[in-house]
Structure 1
Amino acid sequence: MTGGAPAADGDRGNHNAHYHRVVLDALPPGARTALDVGCGEGTLARRLAERVPDVTGVDLHGPSLDAARAAGGGVTYVEADVLTHPFPPASFDLVASVATLHHLDARAGLLRLAELVRPGGRLAVVGLARSASPRDLPYEVAAVAANAVARRRRGYWEHPSPTVWPPPATYAQMRVLVAEVLPGGRYRRHLYWRWSVVWTRPAA
């Protein structure tokens, strides 16, 4: 799906949207605040706003934020770099990031996102990485096959935000980094060239 009028949220099917459920399932009970890092056109932020009273989306791409604001949904959008914007530490019950971390220095990004999570809150990241070992081959084969089927059945919405491909880090590197930076985080490898981690910040 490309060109023409902006797609409705229900028509924005792609690999990133497929894994929004990882973020939504990670919402801590009673969450009041959430931050969507690299929110783009705001599709995930609007879904979060259906469950969380105070949602902020942050992104560097002005045109994507213009589209997000035009779509409404009660989300506050900030055009900024999450690494340097003065969000107070420990200020969100949920910090989410989908397909954004590979645009940043991965270590600095994970540390910054974790810093923004309140004690007892959660960080949910869906990231991209590249294959670099024979262990990755089964995932690659499965992803190619699943992608072909999904595109035939549902089509594919190409978002207008900037992209980075190939991702700079491998899956093995990200697994090691996540274990180091987010001890106790639940790392998973997924189809469609994605990995995820859900981490709960220890209560004070």
Structure 2
Amino acid sequence: MPFDHNDHYHRLLLRRLPRHGLTALDVGCGTGRFARRVAALGYEVDAVDPSAEVIAVAEGIGQGPRFRQLDAADADLPKGHYDVITCLASLHHMPFGTVTRFRQALAPGGVLLVLGCYAGITWWDVAAVPANAVARAGVSVAERLRGVEPPPLRAPVRPPEMSLADVRREAARLLPGSSVRQLLFWRYLLTFRSPEN
């Protein structure tokens, strides 16, 4: 796929990182593209993914984050440790309640950023269809002209089961004070900031 919906939102997520943050956890890191961008900003990044094959590819691409094969839904995450936890198109691969584990792993004032996928169709999604076709065609042509090779491996894909309304309801229940914003290309952005205390 020449146009990656998740990569499209990297800049949006990077703008929401804490300015003076030091530690980050990227959950479901895949081959590590976003984790490397966070590390380039000076963060110490733990990048985790349950797929050994994906982690092997991520480690082979280059330095930066600490890559580990780990299922974040079952792992013992350090309490109150991370200034930011990111989760790009991977939360729907685990129980939504896993966000409470992420909340506990946030340092005071830390931020949880979930770029998530949802089930079902909204009117906003109908608008995404022509935009998606144009973006894919444009990126495909540009990559061919530049001679860009496709990535060596894509992370596993699983369809989401929760609707956007379900996500909003569960986020409000499990992460009081969080916000869920619908985005183009069948994505949402869930943002939660841990209390400073």
TM-score (norm 1): 0.87
- 1:173 paired residue number: 166
Secondary structure in 1 matching 2:63: coil
C-alpha distance in structure 2 between counterparts of 1:102 and 1:53, whole Å: 26
Post-superposition CA distance 1:134-168 (Å, at most 9, x none): xx1x2121111111010110029675211112x11
- 1:111 paired residue number: 100
- What are structure 2's unaligned runs of at least 5 residues? 144-149
Matches within 5 A, 1:91-130: 91-107=81-97, 109-130=98-119
Q: 1:164 aligns with which of 158, 165, 172?
A: 158
Is contact 1:96–1:125 with CA below 8 Å preserved after alignment? yes
Is contact 2:40–2:64 with CA below 8 Å preserved after alignment? no
- What are structure 1's unaligned runs of at least 5 residues? 2-11
State the AA in 1 paired with 2:87: S
Secondary structure in 2 matching 1:64: helix
Is contact 2:39–2:64 with CA below 8 Å preserved after alignment? yes
Is contact 1:49–1:73 with CA below 8 Å preserved after alignment? no
Post-superposition CA distance 1:61-80 (Å, at most 9, x none): 11111111111132101101
Deviation at 1:13, TM superposition (A): 4.3
Secondary structure in 2 matching 1:73: coil
Q: Percent identical across equivalent pairs? A: 35
Is contact 2:116–2:188 with CA below 8 Å preserved after alignment? yes
Please state if 1:61 is matched with 2:51. Answer: yes
Please state if 1:146 is matched with 2:135. Answer: no
Distance 1:181 1:22, change over 3 A: farther
Secondary structure in 1 matching 2:185: coil
Question: How many aligned positions are there?
Answer: 188
